[in-house]
Amino acid sequence: MTSPETTTETSAHWGTFRVEVAGDGETLLRAWAHDDDPDAAPAIGNAVDAHRHRSRVARPAVRRGWLDEGPGADDRRGDVDEPYVEVDWDTALDLVAAELRRVRAEHGDAAVFGGSYGWGSAGRLHHAQSQLHRFLNRTGGYTRSVNDYSRGASAVLLPHLVGAPAALDLRSRPASWQHVAEHTDLVVSFGGLRRSNTWVVPGGHARHRGSDLARRAAATTAFVHLSAQRDDAWEELGAEWVGVMPGTDVALMLALVHVLVVDGLADEEFLRTHCVGAERVRAYVLGHSDGVVRDPEWAEAITRTPAASIRALAHRMAAGRTLVNVVYALQRGERGEQPVWAGLILAAFLGQVGLPGGGFAHGFGSMGDYGVGVAGTRLPVLDQGTNPVPDLIPCARIADLLLHPGADLPYDGRVLRMPDVRLAYWAGGNPFHHHQDLRRLRTAFRRLETFVVHETHWTATARHADVVLPVASTLERDDVAAGAGDTRLRASKRASRPYAEAREELWILGRLAERLGADHDEGLDASGWLRRMYEEWRAAPSSPPAPDFDTFWAEGGVDLPHEPYTAGPGTTGDGPGDGPAFAAFRADPVAHPLATPSGRIELVSSTIEGFDLPDVDAHATWREPEQWWGAASAATYDLHLLCNQPSSRLHSQQDMGAASRATKVAGREPVRLHPDDATARGLVDGDVVRVRSERGSLLAGVVVTDALLPGVAQMHTGAWFDPSAPDVADCVHGNVNVLTRDVPTSTLTQATSGAHVRVAIERHDGPVPPVRAHEPPTFEARA
């Protein structure tokens, strides 16, 4: 007799939702949001198809060439037709353990790279990055990566300008939507305010509150968004759109500062008491330092934003309480730290930094927890231990690391020596989504001697691995979940048995550690670890009142404190205080200085100036992006392509799901074009086109819309990489990372610059190859 269907609550980075599983314990029947979720994420619609999709990794698998010939660089790694051999778990674990032992013995612990990224699982225990790093730390250490792809440039820059505590406050305790509703007359957002980004929080939220709070703020506050896309701000805000060409925001910001200075609107008292470097910035925008006047007419020629609009906006900003917001996407470009720096300078010249609902923000519209206005609560954690290996790279420099071992890498005023990595161990991330110039990345991975990957599905990363170990998905394991500023610590219960021979990472790494003479799981299974982590959290003095674990698990969670931080001045003396960033500093900059060399906001950074870098000056400056140089190149690649995060999935996760598939055009990722640009190329909705840059090409499906500026195209990231027809395009499915440049933001920050690239687009009139991105590899029997 078949068991009845069961309903379970589970959590992902896009929030908490419910699933119904058939009586067989395998088949996912449906997935849906809670009725009281004010803005549930469409990505929930991908869960059903992904759960038992044919691309699931069923058993441990070893690449044929590596199995037969042993470790070593191999140009076949990642080939579409390269076969795999499925093996039992003992064989797979013995192979991985032996290879870890060999590489460490022959080349040292730094020859192992721990390539996990943090978006694999929303759970506190089965968080792939934490599990992998704990294992590697306990077995010798590893070369690690720092920062992230989301805000890698600003993470390096802002501590120099405002000090590390205030920089952290800008991320974790910014002005909230409630502060905006109560105090702000005008929010000016560079890069838009995308609703879809509020659906996602690391760890997920019990309910999506960010967009609802923003809607309430719109009842009392005016919004202006500056972007190349009219629909870059959700409709409920009623935001006024000011068009600006991609990569030119710094020029527009400098022109706004010019108006404030020339028209006597700058707050000279604030600049004198709370900032350093205002006179040098003033001389720069007025042209006294180099003869170039950065006025609105100068900016109009660069940005295509009318000079009259720039002047009117500057006066409007100075007329009331204004919050300047710079989204994460702007710093994911060439010299990406510059728009963040220029945005802070603009806010400082307005003189409202530290006032409730005014000043500077970096993240509204970029993440769902940003602006919820709740003081963060400590959450249960898995101890990762200490890494004895000092070697590191900024995460966006992975290809440089593998291609240029022993080379020097300038970073944040120092020089890193890149170690000679022979083995990369990857879990919980997909670099084929995050990284740029996939030809170069594939070449880099082929230099490795061994590449080990944990995966639920046969992603492009798994298809480049030598050993692939199948892991259970979020729906197939028990965990606890919560995100920053969340209302509830939740029991995320297993809904289904693991697929085929998939195992939890705790088990996989525990068995590997045993083979290497180490202890990863300390004799506890997942149930034991969840109980231990929860009880340790509950016993901590900083934790809220909470029941014992059995009660917590039976009730499905425990409410977390939801106390908003205030908009008033703080009381601590080592940073911004107990309110939004800069509140205490604003009230008394002498008693509450920032942790900068001057104790003030460094509009001009003597520290950065002392680094003597060729591409970063002492203050924010405008330099034409390098990819614009050359008349021939500009004529060929005549469209600016914006590459931003998708709304139908998280990054590349579950791209085969219904919500993601519904956005495809002709089975491929869509490219949006302005009607003028489509007409000039003879294109209409639904056409398949070839999109080319200096680095590669892809096929995409056309969507024509007037929501873009002429000369601008737009595609979402995250389409699974499909190189199955290289004679047609580098990716026939539409992964934009075949087009983007793998060059750093700058020698200061070394972050990604993949949000913007120059391209050419033309109709593809030849045969359209099928999309094979979601197909598993071929398998052969072991000889």
Catalytic residue among 14, 66, 84, 119: 119
Cα 267 from Cα 358, distance rounded (Å): 14
Residue 439, both tokens = 């030809």
What Cα–Cα distance (Å) separates residue 286 from each residue in 279, 280, 344, 615?
10, 10, 18, 22
Q: Which residues pair with 31 in a beta bridge?
A: 19
Cα 758 from Cα 747, distance rounded (Å): 22
Annotate 7-71 with DSSP letters as a single string.
Answer: EEEEEETTEEEEEEE-TTSS-EEEEEE-TT-TT--GGGGGHHHHHT-TTB--S-EEEHHHHHH-S
Cβ neighbours of 597 (radius 10 Å): 13
Strand 359-361 with 322-326, pairing:
parallel
Cα 778 from Cα 79, distance rounded (Å): 11
Cβ contact 595:607 at 8 Å? no
Cβ neighbours of 419 (radius 10 Å): 22
Report phi then psi at 340, rounded to 5: -65, -45
Cα 404 from Cα 279, distance rounded (Å): 42
Cα 258 from Cα 254, distance rounded (Å): 6
- E-assigned strand segments in 519-616: 557-559, 601-602
Cα 150 from Cα 191, distance rounded (Å): 14
* 628 flagged as catalytic: no
SS3 752: coil
Strand 6-12 with 15-21, pairing:
antiparallel
Cα 715 from Cα 334, distance rounded (Å): 18
* 117 flagged as catalytic: yes
Angle in degrees, 0-180, between the axes of helices 278-286 and 337-350, rounded to the nearest 10: 100
Catalytic residue among 14, 117, 149, 370: 117
Residue 536, both tokens = 């340790």
* Catalytic residue IDs: 117, 119
